[in-house]
Protein backbone atom coordinates (compact mmCIF):
# COMPACT_ATOMS: atom_id res chain seq x y z
CA UNK A 1 0.00 0.00 0.00
CA UNK A 2 1.53 3.32 -1.09
CA UNK A 3 0.23 5.47 1.76
CA UNK A 4 -0.66 4.74 5.35
CA UNK A 5 -4.39 4.04 5.53
CA UNK A 6 -6.38 5.91 8.15
CA UNK A 7 -9.24 3.78 9.49
CA UNK A 8 -12.22 4.60 11.67
CA UNK A 9 -13.10 1.88 14.17
CA UNK A 10 -16.79 2.34 14.91
CA UNK A 11 -17.74 0.37 18.01
CA UNK A 12 -21.18 -0.55 19.30
CA UNK A 13 -20.27 -0.88 22.96
CA UNK A 14 -23.44 -2.43 24.38
CA UNK A 15 -21.45 -5.54 25.32
CA UNK A 16 -18.25 -3.75 26.34
CA UNK A 17 -16.28 -6.87 27.28
CA UNK A 18 -16.97 -8.42 23.88
CA UNK A 19 -16.32 -5.27 21.86
CA UNK A 20 -13.06 -4.69 23.73
CA UNK A 21 -11.84 -8.11 22.60
CA UNK A 22 -12.95 -7.49 19.01
CA UNK A 23 -11.11 -4.17 19.08
CA UNK A 24 -8.00 -5.76 20.58
CA UNK A 25 -7.78 -8.24 17.69
CA UNK A 26 -8.60 -5.59 15.10
CA UNK A 27 -6.09 -3.06 16.41
CA UNK A 28 -3.29 -5.62 16.49
CA UNK A 29 -3.98 -6.33 12.82
CA UNK A 30 -4.23 -2.66 11.85
CA UNK A 31 -0.89 -2.09 13.60
CA UNK A 32 0.59 -5.01 11.66
CA UNK A 33 -0.47 -3.31 8.40
CA UNK A 34 0.88 0.06 9.57
CA UNK A 35 -2.55 1.68 9.55
CA UNK A 36 -3.51 4.59 11.75
CA UNK A 37 -6.95 4.67 13.32
CA UNK A 38 -9.46 6.55 15.39
CA UNK A 39 -11.97 4.86 17.68
CA UNK A 40 -15.53 6.15 18.03
CA UNK A 41 -18.32 4.49 19.93
CA UNK A 42 -22.06 4.34 19.45
CA UNK A 43 -24.61 3.12 21.99
CA UNK A 44 -25.53 -0.15 20.29
CA UNK A 45 -25.59 -2.09 17.07
CA UNK A 46 -28.65 -0.30 15.69
CA UNK A 47 -26.70 2.97 15.71
CA UNK A 48 -23.83 1.60 13.61
CA UNK A 49 -25.25 2.52 10.17
CA UNK A 50 -26.02 6.08 11.29
CA UNK A 51 -22.57 6.48 12.78
CA UNK A 52 -21.01 5.04 9.65
CA UNK A 53 -22.94 7.48 7.46
CA UNK A 54 -21.75 10.41 9.58
CA UNK A 55 -18.16 9.17 9.39
CA UNK A 56 -18.30 8.75 5.61
CA UNK A 57 -19.56 12.33 5.32
CA UNK A 58 -16.41 13.64 7.01
CA UNK A 59 -14.14 12.36 4.23
CA UNK A 60 -11.41 11.83 6.86
CA UNK A 61 -11.01 8.08 6.55
CA UNK A 62 -9.75 5.62 3.98
CA UNK A 63 -11.78 2.78 5.47
CA UNK A 64 -14.15 1.84 8.24
CA UNK A 65 -14.23 -1.00 10.69
CA UNK A 66 -17.61 -1.74 12.25
CA UNK A 67 -17.47 -3.73 15.51
CA UNK A 68 -20.17 -4.92 17.88
CA UNK A 69 -22.25 -7.82 19.07
CA UNK A 70 -25.91 -8.81 19.08
CA UNK A 71 -26.90 -11.76 21.26
CA UNK A 72 -30.20 -13.54 20.63
CA UNK A 73 -32.80 -12.98 23.30
CA UNK A 74 -36.32 -14.23 23.88
CA UNK A 75 -38.04 -12.02 21.29
CA UNK A 76 -37.75 -11.24 17.58
CA UNK A 77 -35.82 -8.06 18.44
CA UNK A 78 -32.57 -9.90 17.58
CA UNK A 79 -33.70 -10.66 14.01
CA UNK A 80 -34.81 -7.09 13.37
CA UNK A 81 -31.60 -5.57 14.70
CA UNK A 82 -29.29 -7.97 12.85
CA UNK A 83 -31.13 -7.56 9.55
CA UNK A 84 -31.40 -3.78 9.73
CA UNK A 85 -27.80 -3.21 10.75
CA UNK A 86 -26.45 -5.48 8.02
CA UNK A 87 -28.76 -3.91 5.43
CA UNK A 88 -27.91 -0.38 6.57
CA UNK A 89 -24.17 -0.94 6.48
CA UNK A 90 -24.36 -2.70 3.11
CA UNK A 91 -26.48 0.09 1.65
CA UNK A 92 -23.81 2.61 2.69
CA UNK A 93 -21.02 0.46 1.27
CA UNK A 94 -22.80 0.27 -2.07
CA UNK A 95 -23.96 3.90 -2.18
CA UNK A 96 -20.62 5.43 -1.18
CA UNK A 97 -18.17 2.74 -2.36
CA UNK A 98 -16.91 2.73 1.22
CA UNK A 99 -14.24 0.20 2.22
CA UNK A 100 -15.75 -1.47 5.29
CA UNK A 101 -14.79 -4.40 7.46
CA UNK A 102 -17.95 -5.79 9.06
CA UNK A 103 -17.20 -7.12 12.53
CA UNK A 104 -20.67 -7.37 14.03
CA UNK A 105 -21.06 -10.67 15.85
CA UNK A 106 -24.56 -12.11 15.67
CA UNK A 107 -24.66 -15.01 18.11
CA UNK A 108 -26.97 -17.26 20.06
CA UNK A 109 -25.34 -16.69 23.45
CA UNK A 110 -22.58 -14.87 25.29
CA UNK A 111 -20.20 -17.84 25.21
CA UNK A 112 -20.30 -17.90 21.39
CA UNK A 113 -19.54 -14.18 21.38
CA UNK A 114 -16.58 -14.57 23.72
CA UNK A 115 -15.04 -17.33 21.59
CA UNK A 116 -15.50 -15.33 18.38
CA UNK A 117 -14.18 -12.07 19.84
CA UNK A 118 -11.17 -13.45 21.73
CA UNK A 119 -7.92 -12.80 19.80
CA UNK A 120 -6.61 -16.14 21.08
CA UNK A 121 -9.59 -18.04 19.70
CA UNK A 122 -11.61 -17.14 16.57
CA UNK A 123 -10.40 -13.50 16.46
CA UNK A 124 -13.22 -12.07 14.35
CA UNK A 125 -11.94 -8.52 15.01
CA UNK A 126 -8.77 -9.44 13.13
CA UNK A 127 -10.80 -10.87 10.25
CA UNK A 128 -12.85 -7.68 9.98
CA UNK A 129 -9.67 -5.56 10.04
CA UNK A 130 -8.16 -7.63 7.22
CA UNK A 131 -11.35 -7.23 5.18
CA UNK A 132 -11.24 -3.46 5.75
CA UNK A 133 -7.59 -3.14 4.73
CA UNK A 134 -8.09 -5.33 1.66
CA UNK A 135 -11.03 -3.18 0.58
CA UNK A 136 -8.96 -0.01 1.12
CA UNK A 137 -6.26 -1.53 -1.08
CA UNK A 138 -8.82 -2.47 -3.73
CA UNK A 139 -10.29 1.04 -3.73
CA UNK A 140 -6.81 2.54 -4.14
CA UNK A 141 -5.96 0.15 -6.97
CA UNK A 142 -9.17 0.77 -8.86
CA UNK A 143 -8.89 4.54 -8.52
CA UNK A 144 -5.35 4.47 -9.95
CA UNK A 145 -6.13 2.21 -12.90
CA UNK A 146 -9.75 3.18 -13.46
Q: Just list the catalytic residues.
A: 77
Identify the H or E element spanning 65.
Answer: strand 63-71
DSSP state of 134: H
CA angle 64, 66, 67 (to 5 degrees): 145
Chain-centroid distance, C-alpha 2: 23
Amino acid sequence: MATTPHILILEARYYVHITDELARGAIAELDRWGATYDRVEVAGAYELPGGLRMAIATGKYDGYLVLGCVIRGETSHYDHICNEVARGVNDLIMRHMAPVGFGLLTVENEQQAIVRADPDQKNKGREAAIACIKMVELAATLRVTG
